[in-house]
Amino acid sequence: MSLARQNKRQGERIFWLVSLFAIALPLVILGWLLVDVLSDAVQRLSWQFITSYPSRKPENAGILPALVGSIYLIGLTASIALPIGVGAAIFLEEYGRHSRLAGVIEVNIANLAGVPSIIYGLLGLGVFVRALGMGRSLIAGAATMALLVLPMIIMVTREALRTVPMSLREACYGLGSTRWQSIWQVVLPSAFPGILTGAILAISRAIGETAPLVVVGALTYVTFVPDGIDAPFTVLPIQIFNWVSRPQHGFVVNSAAAITVLVCTMLVLNGIAIYLRNRLQQRKAT
């Protein structure tokens, strides 16, 4: 029986091409769509667009209240979610490990991560808007979004805490420090780059969230910039939602431009996160 090669494994080659195509096709479609958005948006993007208020005429409409609303909302969300999330992560990693309570909380967090975001909106509506009487305000939206991003913040903070070697903690204990002292002065600073990166990534995802805010009552036609945390508000994704639903082509162009602003903001945030992580890790290494 000869050992010479037969039919050069054609089947394998074809399959290789097919599966490469399977990865490439969605990416190509995504590229096509992004180019489409950009080509529509380019004509509308301008300083005027960013600084104007919505209007019944698409040429005059702008994203100022939505943009400002997004920024306020994200800032408020972060200031609520970060301390709580980092605190919870510290508890789970440093204090409560292997206890039954920690186990239950962990399972719970894993569950929460899989709950559809619109359910958080219903939660916010029932608890923050109505039961706690916050009304359809910035603070109600921020509280809702904080609960939404909390599981992710906890997970990335725990990851960051885990990268701190046990020997550092032991060194602190050996010198007679208490647990909190060792955490505050050694562990947290050491885990800081990871926590920061994770937080920025979580925030960047939150900027694109729409569904929970629709339910909580972010308005779709807002002609003012929010003037306090109890004020009504809107955010960029909801402005996009509003414009995309209108029949006039001018508004579709507007939504393309707003999408561009949104995606660019997210890219910038992600870029900052990656840059910060590299810089801070370099500094740690020296």
Partner 1 sequence: MRASEALPMATSEPRGSLKGSLPLGERAIEALLMGCALLTILTTAGILGVLAIETFHFLREVSLAQLLFDSEWTPLFADKHFGIWPLLSGTLLTSLVAIGVALPFGLLAAIFLSELANDRARRTLKPALELLAGIPTIVYGYFALVVITPALQNLIPGLSGFNALSPGIVMGIMIIPMIASLSEDALYAVPNSLREGAYALGASKLPTIFRIVLPSAASGIAAAVILAVSRAIGETMVVAIAAGQQPRLTLDPRVPIQTMTTYIVQVSMGDTPTGTLEYRTIFVVGTLLFLITFLMNVGSYRLARRFRRDT
Partner 2 sequence: MASGGSNGKPPKIAAVGLKARFGSNEVVRGVDMQISERTVTAIIGPSGCGKSTLLRTLNRMHELINGATVDGEVLLDGENVYAHEVDPVLLRRRVGMVFQKPNPFPSMSIRQNVLAGLSLTGRAVRAEADAVVEKALKQAALWEEVKDRLDAPGIGLSGGQQQRLCIARALAVEPEVLLMDEPCSALDPIATARIEDLIHVLKERYTIVIVTHNMQQAARVSEHTAFMLHGDLVEFAATNKLFTQPSDRRTEDYITGKFG
Contact region with partner 1 (CB under 8 A), list: 13-21, 50-58, 160-168, 188-196: 13-21
* Residue 45 touches partner 1, criterion: CB under 8 A: no
Closer residue to partner 2 in complex, CB, 1/131: 1
Binding string, residues 135-164; x marks residues near partner 1 by CB under 8 A: ------------x--xx--x----------
Residue whose pair of structure tokens reads 């089947």 in the numeric block: 11
Give the shortest CB-10-to-partner 2 separation in angstroms: 13
117 touches 54 (CB < 8 A): no
**Angle 76-78-83 (CA atoms, 0-180°, nearest 5)?**
115
* Residue 224 touches partner 1, criterion: CB under 8 A: no
* Residue 10 touches partner 2, criterion: CB under 8 A: no
Near partner 1 by CB under 8 A: residue from 61, 241, 254, 261? 241
* Residue 95 touches partner 1, criterion: CB under 8 A: yes
40 touches 256 (CB < 8 A): yes
Query: 197-216: which residues touch partner 1 (CB under 8 A)?
Result: 205, 207-211, 214-215
Q: What is the rounded CA–CA span in Å between residue 14 and residue 17?
A: 5
Q: What is the rounded CA–CA span in Å between residue 196 and residue 280?
A: 10
Closer residue to partner 1 in complex, CB, 151/198: 151
Give the shortest CB-8-to-partner 2 separation in angstroms: 9
Near partner 1 by CB under 8 A: residue from 256, 257, 261, 273? 256
Query: 103-142: which residues touch partner 2 (CB under 8 A)?
Result: none
Closer residue to partner 2 in complex, CB, 9/284: 9
What tokens does 108 get? 């719970």
50 touches 67 (CB < 8 A): yes
CA dist 212 to 25, 53, 100, 180, 227, Å? 32, 23, 32, 36, 22
Near partner 1 by CB under 8 A: residue from 64, 67, 88, 152? 88
Longest Cα–Cα distance of the chain, Å, equals 86
Q: What is the rounded CA–CA span in Å between residue 180 and residue 187?
A: 10
* Residue 283 touches partner 2, criterion: CB under 8 A: no
* Residue 6 touches partner 2, criterion: CB under 8 A: yes
* Residue 3 touches partner 2, criterion: CB under 8 A: yes
Indicate which of partner 1, partner 2, none lies near residue 125 (CB less than 5 to 8 Å, by partner kind): partner 1
Q: C-alpha 115: how far from its chain's center?
A: 16
- What DSSP line would sit under 53-98, residue for residue? PP-SSTTT---HHHHHHHHHHHHHHHHHHHHHHHHHHHIIIIISTT
Closer residue to partner 1 in complex, CB, 227/278: 278
* Residue 123 touches partner 1, criterion: CB under 8 A: yes
